[in-house]
Structure 1
Amino acid sequence: MSKSESIAIVGGGAWGLSTALHLHRTGYTNITVFETADSIPSRYSAAYDINKIVRAEYEESFYTDLALVSLIEKSLKRADQLTSSQQAIEAWKDPLFGPYYHETGYIVATSGSALAKANKSLETALASVSKHPVFAPGIQALDNGDEFKKYAWQITGPLKGFTGYFNRLAGYAHSANALKGIFLHCATLGIKFVLGRSAGTVTELVYDGQGNDRKCTGVRTADGITHSAAKTIVASGAWGASLVPEMGRFVTARSWSVAHVQLTEQECDYLRGLPVINVRDLGFFFEPDPATRLFKLCPLGAGFSNTNNEGTSLPPMDRIPPPQDFIPADDEIKLRTLLAETFPWMADRSFVDKKLCWFADTSDSEYCIDFLPDTNNSVVVLSGDSGHGFKMMPIFGKWVVELLENGRQNIDRWRWKTKDERGQDWGDGVSWRIGKSRELSELIDEARRGGLQARL
């Protein structure tokens, strides 16, 4: 396609913004991003958060190398000289993304009560980096509480039976600030943004022709206006199947719990510099956010879905944003246990800003970066972040540009899936998914019954 032809990007989250940025860098000049929120960072994005882990531990070298690409790509010129295993951890250190990246280090562990799958997940993560030529010098095994406290001296808990390792070349990024910063940068480049519930909400893709001639010619927004586009890129995360129903066959909207403890200024300063700590059978946390003094915790598990009568899971559409202000009781128990083992002085504190964070999951945790079939390459679908997509934000858009210019997806694992996977149990598909996913309706019913019992 001509680089002056119009491109519509549906979604102003991490992948949508990265795509807009890299399209512009490659010379495309007519880019419009549509976003339902009235500002960016969008509260509908999975990256609307104070922090996300940036690490390279994976079950296989493919994503380990890609994550490394995100961390070490200092410039486009230098990136061309690097191998694929030397391009994502430094991209976070580029002046554009660097303000949002914090290389605090990363501790991965299991407790003394961990099930076999959690221990296996730890072993797999360690194996992926312990012999890697870039990571190996910064890996340190941790076999007891004293060794953990060498790298996280603030820990005062017993760490009963904890084992794990420390990875120096990892940390986290302030995701909401990254979205805002890249949005402002893109706006200065002349990339157009249409925001808001009326003007920025894409309600349908507009098609012309039938059969082999079918082609998307643009998008229609909630205000009834049709916007023409030569290419339409759907980067709507967990909401994607509401626009492309076929996605619902292999992509499911899933959520994880998030909770925070409100710290004092002194407590916040005390925990400054804490590595990201991920206990595979309980949950993970970060150093507190200095602006809000919030200490974020996330329990680990298989997540929660919201399946409709057709077997497709989407975030709740009747309330936007989706229902918040609670997390399941089982997840709260996990987090209390995690705190008791690490920071007992925090274990009985009230949890604030409790919510469910929605993302687009796939059975094998693979992304989908491909053309929608039977649209003559007029629609690109970006989905399946599976909870590990944000770390790729600095380089993700390059893969979309490659797809557009190649005219086909050359990486098998990122191709459109034809198999209908609705209704299947994905619990054992990947090592991080521990336990079984549950339905949001069950959680809400439990919360209501719990509230009623408390009042009685």
Structure 2
Amino acid sequence: MLTSTDDILSPTPKKFLIVGGGVFGLNAAIALRQRQHTVIVFDRLPIPAEDGSSNDINRIVRMDYGAKGLEQGLAEKAILKWREWNDDATKVLPDDDRPLFDECGIILACQDKVLGPYERGCVEFLSSIGHGPLLQELSASELGDKFPAFAEATSNSVMQSAYYNKLGGMVNANKAMVYLKAKADAMGVEFFTGEDHGSVADFISNADGRVAGLTTRDGVHHYADAVLVAAGAWSASIVPELASLVVASGQPVIYVSVPENLREEFSSKNFPVWTADITKTGIYGFPVQEGVLKFACHSLGFTNPTPAPWSSDPSTLISIPSPVGTPLGDTIPAPKYKEMLSFLRTLFPSLADAPVARARLCWYTNTFDERFVISAVPHREGLYVATGGSGHGFKFAPVIGDVIADVVSGIESEVAKGFAWRDSPAGTGLYLPKGDGTLREHLPI
């Protein structure tokens, strides 16, 4: 039941509660503190959460978005800020000498001898806004000459054309999250973490229906001027209205241990972030980092249909991530595992015998149009959401906080309009696309 209160004060500056300490939640907290607001962040796990999509060894930073000007423009600004964060991180985390942002560039390769529509669209749009000098179109032989690790891929026809964008690379995602948490701590953001103290049991509503806070599972009531849910793939399990807009989907990720004699060749000094005809295969990967080469598949992914926590009807299903520590939570379905390893060994035969260090699912929060949802929740005054990263949200970390802070502060902008609440083509029905199937349809590896 919703708790009722009729006399919630609205001090200035305001008090915000944020559910979720991932990349959206932490950056929102920092941006709101910079505006002198009081901020409390809740998360069911210590930050960075071990199963959060924000926490990993690396994430791509790119501005290659075809003709999507909104995302491209934001990505451009984010890259400039990542460079600033690179310098600042050395002061905030002086004992961690791992690079935060590695500008190793990005290769977008295709299996045909001419670039595909997506890749060609990226080249044309980036060139039209003045970035042509940063781009280099490459034939198969030129790709192999420039980056020798790709030589075998070009000879066996896996990569026959490509372009290289110097502006981009990868971020050490785990370090970035530790950096953000340290910044938030220093700025006075308060944190409640753990299954009891950090998990939301319900929202508090005053007499006119306005959301005025939340109750955690330990029974404690926390009051505020507004609540922001930025809980990633768990967002729709907390805010029912999101179930028509987003779906949690598990994306396969494999980490291969690279032999020491090959690590230099696959290092970011000699090898960029890469995509392998991504609109057809979904496959992309990174230079070696911490001794492993990570590669993944970007697609609709695997869903985990589960009775919705907010519904009394057990047939109302939404996709909720499988918990870490369970068979479905710690690995990927066997058919996809075999398919991805086969592709990697064709792409890089020198890694054919390299052992797999780890395989897991990264839980995306996919929207039907791959755009974020940063908005007030309709008919739920005082409740906001920032979610729907759709597998490409991390790169915007340095700029997304201000976008979210503007929305919860009622400040209009063209960027905010682009991420506003919108109707799904499926209407108000639950968004649960088939994708690669459900986890329970497949045996784990």
1:285 corresponds to: 285
Q: Spell out, residue by residue over 1:30-58, the C-alpha distance to the aligned partner (whole angstroms, 9 max, x if none).
A: 21111111x22111321111111000111
When normalised by structure 1's length, the TM-score is 0.82
Counterparts of 1:264 and 1:348, CA distance in 2: 9
Does the residue aligned with 1:4 lie in a helix, a strand or coil? coil
2:399 corresponds to: 395
Does the residue aligned with 1:147 lie in a helix, a strand or coil? helix
User: Could you tell which deviates more after superposition, 118-127 or 367-376?
Assistant: 118-127
When normalised by structure 2's length, the TM-score is 0.84
2:311 corresponds to: none
| 2:184 aligned with 1:181 | no
Does the residue aligned with 1:157 lie in a helix, a strand or coil? helix
Which one-letter code corresponds to 2:369 in the other structure? D
Counterparts of 1:33 and 1:256, CA distance in 2: 27
Deviation at 1:320, TM superposition (A): 6.9
1:432 corresponds to: none
Counterparts of 1:193 and 1:234, CA distance in 2: 15
Which one-letter code corresponds to 2:255 in the other structure? H
Counterparts of 2:370 and 2:420, CA distance in 1: 13
Deviation at 1:182, TM superposition (A): 0.9
Q: Is the 8 A contact 2:251 2:296 kept in 1?
A: yes
CA distance 1:166–1:285, shift in 2 (3 Å):
same
Does the residue aligned with 1:402 lie in a helix, a strand or coil? helix
Segments of 5+ residues of structure 1 without an aligned counterpart are: 74-88, 427-435, 452-456
CA distance 1:26–1:332, shift in 2 (3 Å):
farther
2:152 corresponds to: 157
1:340 corresponds to: 346
Counterparts of 1:113 and 1:236, CA distance in 2: 42
2:120 corresponds to: 123
Within 5 Å, give how 1:56-95 maps onto structure 2.
56-59=63-66, 60-73=68-81, 90=83, 93=86, 95=88
Counterparts of 2:247 and 2:71, CA distance in 1: 21
Counterparts of 2:351 and 2:192, CA distance in 1: 43
User: Could you tell which deviates more after superposition, 327-336 or 100-109?
Assistant: 327-336
Does the residue aligned with 1:325 lie in a helix, a strand or coil? coil
Counterparts of 1:113 and 1:137, CA distance in 2: 22
1:413 corresponds to: 418
Q: Is the 8 A contact 1:205 1:243 kept in 2?
A: no
Within 5 Å, give how 1:215-364 maps onto structure 2.
215-273=210-268, 274-279=271-276, 280=278, 281-282=280-281, 283-290=283-290, 293-308=291-306, 309-316=315-322, 323-341=329-347, 343-364=348-369
Does the residue aligned with 2:215 lie in a helix, a strand or coil? strand
CA distance 1:409–1:373, shift in 2 (3 Å):
farther
Segments of 5+ residues of structure 2 without an aligned counterpart are: 1-9, 91-97, 307-314
2:60 corresponds to: 53
Q: Spell out, residue by residue over 1:278-323, the C-alpha distance to the aligned partner (whole angstroms, 9 max, x if none).
A: 1113311111113xx1210112433222234325322236977961
Q: 4+ runs of 1 displaced by more than 4 Å?
A: 89-94, 96-99, 317-322, 407-410, 421-426
Does the residue aligned with 1:172 lie in a helix, a strand or coil? strand
Counterparts of 2:407 and 2:59, CA distance in 1: 27
Residue identity (%)? 25
Q: Is the 8 A contact 2:323 2:329 kept in 1?
A: no
Q: Is the 8 A contact 1:216 1:379 kept in 2?
A: yes
CA RMSD of aligned residues (A): 2.7
Deviation at 1:425, TM superposition (A): 8.4
Which one-letter code corresponds to 2:292 in the other structure? L
Which one-letter code corresponds to 2:88 in the other structure? P
Deviation at 1:148, TM superposition (A): 1.0
